[in-house]
Amino acid sequence: MSQAPAHPRDPLVPSLLLTLAFMALVALNLAVPAQPYFDEIHYLPAARELLERGLYMNREHPLFGKQMIALGIALFGDNSLGWRLPALLAGGLALFASMRGMWFASQSRFAALAFGILLASGLMLFVQSRIAMLDIFMASFLALAAWQFAAAIREPETGRWRLALTGIALGLAMASKWNAIPLAILPGLTFFFARLSAGRRRLFTSRRGVPIPGMSLLEAGMWLGALPLVTYALTFAPAHEMKDTPFATQGLIAFHREMLALQTQVLDPHPYQSNWPDWVLNLRSVWYLYENVDGAQRGVILLGNPLTMLIGLPALIWCAIAGVAQRNWAKIAVVAGYLASLGLWLFAAKSVQFYYHYFPPHFFLLAALALALDALRQAGRPIVAYGILGASLAIFAFFYPVISASELSGPEAFHRWTWLSGWI
C-alpha cells in the first residue's frame, strides 16, 4: 500500500533510434536496380502522367499512392532514387507509428520495442520500403491511424485532435489502396460498440463513458466516418484535369465504377499468384527481381520471416483467448485487425492474388507475437522471449542479400534461400 504505483517508461527514444537504424539500412543500395522492377513498371508511368496532367493510367487503383511517387520524382528527380525515397519514408513512418500504437495500446515498453524488432526483421516491411508500390503508403497511414486512435483512448484530453488525425490517416490509407477499407471501418465500429456498452440513455449525444470521455458519438462519427470519406474524395481532385477520365465528365461515382470493374475483371493466371492459405503458412513467395542488372546477378524476394510468420499464429490464438478472458483490449484489437484485413481476401472478387496482399495482416500477426513474448518475459521466461527476437534478427541477416538487391554469386545462387518449392 505504501509503494508508489508503477509508471512504465515511454520507449519514445529507443523507438525513434530503431526507426532511424531501419531507414538507414533500407537506404543502402536503394537506387539499385537503376531501372524499374516488378510493379514499378505500372506505377511510375502513372505517376509521371499525374505530374504532366496527361493520360489517366493505372485506372484500377486510387491516386494517392501514385501522387506520393510523383512527389518523389518532382523533388528528387525521375530516377531510381527519386522513385523509391517516398517508400523509404513511408516505411519509416509505418515502423515508428506501429511501435507508438503498441505502446499506447499495451503500456508495455518491451512489447512496443519487440514489435518494432519483429517488424523490422520480418522481411516484408523492408522489401516494401524499397520499391515504388502503393502498399507501403496504405500500411503507413493505417499504422498512423492505429497510433492516434490508441493514444486518443489512452489520453482522452487529446482525443479530439487525435481522432481528427485518425480520420485523415484512414482517408489517405483508403486513397492509397482499397485493401485498407476493412480496417478503416474498425475505429468507428469500436467507438460505437464501446459507447453502446456504456449504457448511456442518450447514445448519440452523451459525452460520458468509454472509449473517450468528453466526446459524443455524433462527434466521433464526424472524425471517424465523415472526415475519412472527405479526405479520400479530395485526393481525386487532380484527376479532374487529366485526359480521358470519367471523373472529369461524369463525376467521382463513375470514376469508381470503372475502378471496381477493373478490380474484379478476370485476369490471366500469373506464375507467382497465390491465395490466403499460402500466405498464412508462408508457402508462396514473389520474386520481385532475379536477373543480371547493374553489372551483377541480383534478386529481391518478398517473403515473410520463416520463424515469426509461423510462431505468430499460435500467438494470435493466445491473444484471442487471453484477450477475452482478461478483457484485454490490446490483445482483442490485434486479433480483430488480423481477421478484418485477412477476411477481405476470403471473399474478394479478385481473380489473381499475391503474397503482398498479406502485408497488412502481417502487422497484426507480429503485434500478437510481441504481446505473447511480453507475457513470456513476465512469466519468468525472458530467455525464450529474447531468443526469439534474436533469431528473427539472425534470419533477417541471412536473407538480407535477396531482400536488398545485393550482388549474388551467380544465376543459381537463389537455391540458398529457396527452402520450399513455393519460394522458387
Which residues neighbour 102 within 8 Å (Cβ) at sequence distance 6 or greater? 108, 111, 112, 115, 330, 367, 370
pLDDT band at 201 (very low <50, low <70, confident <90, very high): confident
**pLDDT at residue 357 greater than cutoff 60:** yes
Triad 406, 308, 29: Cα angle to 5°: 15
- Is 6 contained in some domain? no
Q: Residue 5: its pLDDT value, please?
A: 54
Instruction: Find out whether the peptide bond into 211 is cis, omega within 30 degrees of 0.
Output: yes
Report the phi/psi class of residue 38: left, alpha or beta, with left for phi > 0 and alpha for psi in -120 to 50.
left
Which residues neighbour 195 within 8 Å (Cβ) at sequence distance 6 or greater? 203, 206, 209, 210, 211, 217, 220
Q: Residue 265: its pLDDT value, please?
A: 84
pLDDT band at 4 (very low <50, low <70, confident <90, very high): low
Q: Tell me the mean pLDDT in the region 408-423.
A: 95
Instruction: Find out whether the peptide bond into 238 is cis, omega within 30 degrees of 0.
Output: no
Query: Cα–Cα distance between 153 and 17 in angstroms, integer?
Result: 26
Q: Tell me the mean pLDDT in the region 186-199.
A: 90
Query: Cα–Cα distance between 353 and 335 in angstroms, integer?
Result: 23
pLDDT band at 404 (very low <50, low <70, confident <90, very high): very high
103, 143 contact by CB (below 8 A): no
Q: Residue 254: its pLDDT value, please?
A: 81
**Helix locations, 107-185, DSSP H:** 109-120, 124-128, 135-154, 159-176, 181-184
Q: Residue 414: its pLDDT value, please?
A: 96
The per-residue pLDDT for range 218-272, each reduced to its tens digit, is: 999 999 999 999 999 999 988 877 777 777 677 788 878 888 888 888 888 888 8
Q: How many domains, the chain?
A: 1
Q: Residue 197: its pLDDT value, please?
A: 84
- Is 271 contained in some domain? yes
Continuous segment of H or E residues that includes residue 290: strand 286-293
Q: Residue 2: its pLDDT value, please?
A: 54
The per-residue pLDDT for range 272-324, each reduced to its tens digit, is: 899 999 999 999 999 999 999 999 999 999 999 999 999 999 999 999 999 99
- Is 282 contained in some domain? yes
315 or 204: which leads in pLDDT: 315
* Partners of 349 in the β-ladder: none
- Is 211 contained in some domain? yes
Q: Which amino acid would we find at residue 204?
A: F
Q: Residue 191: its pLDDT value, please?
A: 94
Which residues neighbour 286 within 8 Å (Cβ) at sequence distance 6 or greater? 38, 272, 301, 302, 303, 354, 355, 356
Query: Cα–Cα distance between 370 and 367 in angstroms, integer?
Result: 5
pLDDT band at 373 (very low <50, low <70, confident <90, very high): very high
Instruction: Find out whether the peptide bond into 11 is cis, omega within 30 degrees of 0.
Output: no
Note if the pTM is more than 0.75.
yes
The per-residue pLDDT for range 117-159, each reduced to its tens digit, is: 999 999 999 999 999 999 999 999 999 999 999 999 999 999 9
Q: What sign for the dihedral angle of Cα 375, 376, 380, 383?
A: negative
Continuous segment of H or E residues that includes residue 285: none
3-class state of residue 302 by DSSP: strand
Averaged confidence pLDDT in the chain: 93
3-class state of residue 293 by DSSP: strand
- Is 24 contained in some domain? yes
Helix 159-176 vs helix 64-76: crossing angle, to nearest 10: 90
- Is 2 contained in some domain? no
- Is 258 contained in some domain? yes
- Is 417 contained in some domain? yes
Q: Residue 146: its pLDDT value, please?
A: 98
Query: Cα–Cα distance between 306 and 123 in angstroms, integer?
Result: 9
Structural domain that includes position 207:
12-423
- Kind of pairing between the strands at 286-293 and 296-302: antiparallel
